[in-house]
Structure 1
Amino acid sequence: LRGQRSSGPELTPSGKVTRLIFSLDGSHLAVVTGESEIDVWDVSSPGGFLLWRGSVPRQTEPLKLVVFSPDGDLLLITRGDSLAPTLWDLKTGAPRAVLHGHTDRVLSAVFSPDGGRLATTSTDGTARIWDVSASQGVMVLRGHTGAVLGAAFSPDGRRLVTTGADNTARVWDLGEPPEIQDDSFAGLLRQAVARVPVVFGADGKQIKQIKLR
């Protein structure tokens, strides 16, 4: 492989870099240093600048999830042993909310395309839907018989697909009340392997498995 040195900003992290996460539009970069420090840089301009520097109280395990909201204004953070993710407001530099509800470790988190909702999954066998602006839970999705490993929203945010340690994938209609759909996806659901990530297609009518070879 060959590459050229970028003319973009040169960043100076606060310690040994362990993870890098870009925001959806590529304007912000989260740099995880060590096990509990996070720097968020604005890299949209040639010079770049440090937007926010935070430290998550160290417990028994390092940071697990660092997820930007679609607009890049919020950052969701969890540790490996955390039951409650924290939403940080990058405009104020302060935590907006701690999302309590799961009774075991949080395994994944994903924002809806419009950023209005957040889905989290856990080893407690549930997925939870959160209203981001209100910072409160609005739905609990139960159906898997083991840990819920991951989730993905449809492009319109009205449905959610979850994958579980029970080797199933489930598609949820996020109406009131939420319910499991059982339609054209049924064939795929029977064949789904829980540990293979899945996403909705752009039309919201297909589910695709992602396999890295």
Structure 2
Amino acid sequence: MTAPLAGDLLAIYDTLYAAFGHQNWWPAETAFETMIGAILTQSVSWANASCAIGNLEAAGLLDPEMLAGADTGDIARLIIPSRFYNQKAERIGEFAGIYIEEFQADPAVMAAMETDALRERLLDIRGFGKETVDSILLYACNKPVFVVDAYTRRIFSRYGFLPEKASYDRMQRLFADTLPPDVDLFNDYHAQIVRLGKTACRKSPLCDRCPIRVIGGSLRCAATLRQAPGSGADRLPGGR
């Protein structure tokens, strides 16, 4: 762990926590619901994914055995709010079958598998990318795997921690190599990043709403500096 960098990242988290409170993420009744939610929220807002989950639950299909045996078309019709519903229906059906066959439909069996091996197995499933898999690992299996996304890239590139086009792996290493491997911290930190990205650090930033716009020390946001009269990005700290 790099102490100064860890201090900066933890200062950002602490400030977000003080502003927004604990995010209580992921909103699900069961680990399996979390897994299905991770598939449904691909390329769509959580509100849409949540609506699709509600439809599956109302139809009595939010169950691995039921989904594995269901017609793909029936699943697709229920998850229309999540967009790309035909593709996602196929992924859900395939995953439900794997969950039953390889993990006995038991999240504890899945969680007992070594983290890297489980990650590789899930990445082998058609349509499962790194963000989807890492969300399952962290939020359903309680593995200390930091989930990153477009909000992470936007926020932390503006602070100079990452290049604007940083890869998923580069973003993940920033946190995984710097912070202690704490499931609760990783869980809520990612949720705080999403909250900030939605409410303030948008593509067109609303800096007056941002609780971390000036934390102190050398931390400065490029978007905030650009909005300040007479300020420039050359005032950003270097070395990151």
Q: TM-score, normalised by structure 2?
A: 0.29
Flag the structure with higher strand content: 1
